[in-house]
């Protein structure tokens, strides 16, 4: 099992999918994060207010994301494509195809395709999905074997109600939430997000317990992450 996360900015994967990454690492499964940009222009307000230059901010956000990925036990790559706006280019898509072919993910996590507050997030989602299709094509000119068809999960946007986000997967991250919190605290450039995403995990945890079924017998204070599955689940047993 291998997990691939495609993140528009350097912090997105931490707030939205750090629990899933920490769980994968705890199971001994490889996890890879691709940050298409550092979020240097649109998601680094504190650094700009402190008078830092563009290059200083990029270095700062890279160091933060690397530290967070290290806490989570994930590998991380940076494309430095720029943000606000994040350009959708054939070159970026091709670079993602090559990552797909190399990593051969069993699961892909990325942004929801709708976000009226941040156009970079849907742009990342579209490129992630396009690259996934191209990586499956036997005739696409890239190293490696054609990709299988890994399921895709959209992680929760910051304003879910405005993004047509209705979760159909709730992931119990209770056992690793302390790891997620440590990873979040590696990103002081967005300190205001720490408690927001802790509170969100509590709320999603309540929903997890309400939907977990009659025989699970949960007694702990569950923390959860929410996802939307793009493609149908395949199964021989309804559960």
When divided into structural domains, the chain yields a total of 1
When pLDDT is averaged across residues 112-131 and rounded to a whole number, the result is 98
**Is residue 235 situated within a structural domain?**
no
**Is residue 237 situated within a structural domain?**
no
For residue 238, pLDDT beyond 90:
no
**Is residue 236 situated within a structural domain?**
no
Q: How confident is the model at residue 216 (pLDDT cuts 50, 70, 90)?
A: low
We report the CATH number of the domain holding residue 102 as 3.40.50.10320
Q: What tens digit of pLDDT does each residue of 124-142 get?
A: 999 999 999 999 999 999 9
Averaged confidence pLDDT in the chain: 95
Cis peptide preceding 175, ω within 30 of 0? no
For residue 209, pLDDT beyond 70:
yes
Q: Which domain holds residue 114?
A: 3-229
**Is residue 75 situated within a structural domain?**
yes
């Amino acid at each position: 099992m291998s997990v691939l996360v495609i993140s528009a900015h350097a912090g997105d994967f931490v707030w939205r999918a750090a629990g899933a990454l920490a769980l994968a690492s705890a199971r001994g499964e490889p996890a890879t994060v691709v940050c298409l940009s550092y979020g240097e222009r649109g998601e680094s307000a504190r650094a700009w207010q402190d008078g830092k230059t563009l290059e200083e901010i990029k270095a700062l956000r890279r160091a933060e994301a690397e530290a967070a990925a290290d806490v989570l036990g994930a590998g991380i790559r940076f494309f430095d494509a720029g943000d606000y706006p994040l350009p959708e280019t054939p070159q970026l898509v091709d670079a993602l195809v090559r990552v797909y072919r190399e990593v051969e993910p069993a699961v892909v996590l990325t942004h929801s395709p709708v976000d009226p507050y941040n156009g970079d997030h849907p742009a990342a989602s579209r490129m992630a999905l396009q690259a996934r299709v191209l990586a499956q094509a036997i005739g696409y000119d890239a190293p490696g074997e054609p990709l299988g068809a890994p399921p895709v999960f959209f992680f929760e946007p910051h304003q879910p109600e405005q993004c047509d986000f209705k979760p159909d997967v709730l992931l119990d991250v209770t056992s690793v939430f302390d790891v997620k919190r440590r990873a979040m605290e590696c990103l002081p450039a967005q300190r205001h997000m720490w408690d927001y995403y802790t509170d969100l995990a509590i709320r999603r945890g309540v929903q997890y317990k309400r939907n977990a079924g009659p025989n699970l017998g949960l007694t702990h204070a569950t923390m959860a992450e929410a996802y939307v599955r793009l493609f149908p689940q395949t199964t021989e047993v309804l559960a």
